[in-house]
């Protein structure tokens, strides 16, 4: 298969450049990058006026498969990813059963091989059954194909277990992806502790519950030398802690999600359970702190924490509904709208946080780059096209998003894996 992409605004997230040029992909690899390429091709895409970048890499996705496939499955999750320009994703372990054995890793790879071509990489649990009592066999999980360890969805409260897991993970070259919320301080509370929780007469999830665990896990990273990655950072003080630890040379990276640099806790007052996520939406001060962290590079990655639930589950009262929102099909558009079109971040900065940086953290060194010999995984989007988010047309089984009805600017036109178009936005 030979693919020629002509006249695109090619974003190189590694060099930080934007240039008008052509790309030629043959046998799944980028073999030529230049202006005016003359070559035989099975397919030619005219990308005039469009942005051409590496395929997006989402390092935080809940595919709900195995066991919770009424919410999502690998096929529908990959279809949603393709619509959002995501060509590779890491799926979390909080399924049923939990991904804590080589057999579960094998299941994910086997089913993903039958999907649309989006590359799926399993994240295995830190603790068996995600119960926080006994560490998993990281060596066996690595051999089976796990690319990281995480009990995401649950905090690992036992510091000794987490320390042991980090030591083992370091030995296997696996990053540990940490969900940082002190369980005793948040329990099953639905909203941020603050003005909204007081208006609703609810106990809230205090920001300090996140910040304590961010500090603990960063300190454990410093002590063990393990690579710790903090998931879904939501508070300004968490950003400050990570910034300080990075300056000390601690091997810590982190991510945030579009909801945390776009929405505040006030969204709960109008959207109810659709705005319930863990960690919760915070304050305007926290949103500002998250954006500052993105600007100065403290926050390395923009991920989705794509967390589909059924309509029936999300229709429950706020205190009984599950936490989470879908994001695969809207992440790029919301990010461009909030950060690029407002002048807060440049296009190469945004693309870097959604491609080569997460790929590097996960050890996927052939992903997230537009260089000769790299995988022909490419996303092409129109940064200027406006559209309104409509969950009813999502490919995901999940419709649970507080962004329904939002007008956004930036639309994926083509998603390409290994030189093969797996999604095209039909006019």
Nearest-10 Cα torsion for 185, 160, 154, 165: 160
- Three-state secondary structure string covering the chain: CEEEEEEEEEEECCCCEEEEEEEEEECCEEEEEECCCCCCCCEEEECCCCEEEECEEEEEECCCCCCCCCCCCHHHHHHHHHHCCEEEEEECCCCCCCCCCHHHHHHHHHHHCCCCCCEEEEEECCEHHHCCCCECCHHHHHHHCCCEECCCCCCCCCHHHHHHHHHHHHHHCCCEEECCCCHHHHCCCCCECCHHHHHCCCCCECHHHHHHHHHHHHHHHHHHCCCEEECCCCCHHHHHHHHHHHHCCCCEEEEECHHHHCCCCCHHHHHHHHHCCCCCCCCHHHHHHHHHHHHCCCCCEECCCECCCCHHHHCCCCCCCCCCECCCCCHHHHHHHHHHCCCCCCHHHHHHHHCHHHHHHCCCCCCCCCCCCCECCEEEEEEEEEEECCHHHCCCCCCCCCCCCCEEEEEEEEEEECCEEEEECCC
User: Regarding beta strands 17-26 and 2-12, do their DSSP bridges make them parallel or antiparallel, or are they unpaired?
Assistant: antiparallel
How many CA atoms lie less than 13 Å away from 262 in the CB half-sphere?
Answer: 25
Active site residue: 100, 217, 305, 377, which one?
305
Q: How far apart are CA 413 and CA 426, in angstroms?
A: 8
12 is catalytic: no
Known catalytic residues are 305
């Amino acid at each position: 298969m030979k693919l020629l992409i002509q006249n695109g605004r090619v974003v190189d997230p590694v060099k930080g450049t934007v240039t008008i040029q052509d790309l030629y992909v043959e046998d799944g690899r980028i073999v030529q990058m230049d202006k005016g390429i003359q070559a035989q091709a099975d397919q030619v895409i005219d990308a005039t006026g469009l942005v051409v970048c590496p395929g997006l890499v989402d390092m935080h996705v809940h595919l709900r498969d195995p066991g919770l496939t009424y919410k999502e499955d690998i096929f529908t999750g990959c279809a949603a990813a393709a619509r959002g320009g995501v060509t590779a994703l890491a799926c979390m372990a909080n399924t049923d059963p939990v991904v804590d054995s080589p057999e579960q890793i094998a299941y994910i790879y086997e089913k993903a091989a039958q999907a649309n071509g989006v590359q799926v990489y399993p994240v295995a649990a830190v603790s068996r059954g995600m119960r926080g009592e006994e560490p998993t066999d990281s060596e066996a999980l690595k051999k089976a194909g796990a690319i990281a360890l995480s009990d995401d969805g649950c905090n690992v409260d036992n510091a000794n277990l987490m320390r042991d897991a980090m030591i083992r993970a370091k030995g296997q070259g696996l990053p540990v992806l940490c969900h940082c919320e002190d369980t005793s301080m948040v329990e099953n509370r639905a909203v941020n502790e603050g003005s909204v929780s007081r208006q609703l007469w609810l106990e809230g999830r205090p920001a300090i519950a996140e910040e304590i665990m961010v500090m603990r896990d960063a300190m454990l990273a410093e002590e063990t030398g393990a690579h710790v990655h903090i998931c879904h950072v939501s508070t300004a003080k968490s950003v400050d802690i990570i910034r300080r630890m990075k300056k000390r040379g601690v091997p810590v990276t982190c991510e945030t999600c579009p909801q945390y640099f776009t929405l505040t806790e006030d969204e709960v007052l109008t959207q109810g359970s659709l705005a319930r996520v863990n960690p919760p939406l915070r304050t305007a001060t926290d949103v500002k702190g998250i954006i500052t962290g993105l600007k100065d590079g403290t926050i390395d990655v923009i991920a989705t924490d794509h967390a589909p639930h059924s309509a029936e589950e999300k229709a429950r009262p706020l205190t009984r509904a599950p936490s989470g929102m879908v994001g695969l099909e809207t992440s790029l558009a919301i990010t461009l709208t909030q950060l690029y079109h407002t002048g807060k971040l440049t296009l190469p900065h945004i693309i870097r946080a959604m491609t080569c940086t997460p790929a590097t953290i996960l050890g996927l060194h052939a992903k997230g780059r537009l260089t000769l010999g790299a995988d022909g995984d490419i996303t092409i989007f129109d940064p200027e096209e406006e559209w309104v988010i409509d969950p009813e047309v999502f490919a995901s089984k999940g419709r649970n998003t507080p962004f329904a009805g939002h007008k956004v600017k930036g639309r994926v036109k083509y998603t390409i894996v290994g030189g093969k178009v797996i999604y095209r936005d039909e006019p």
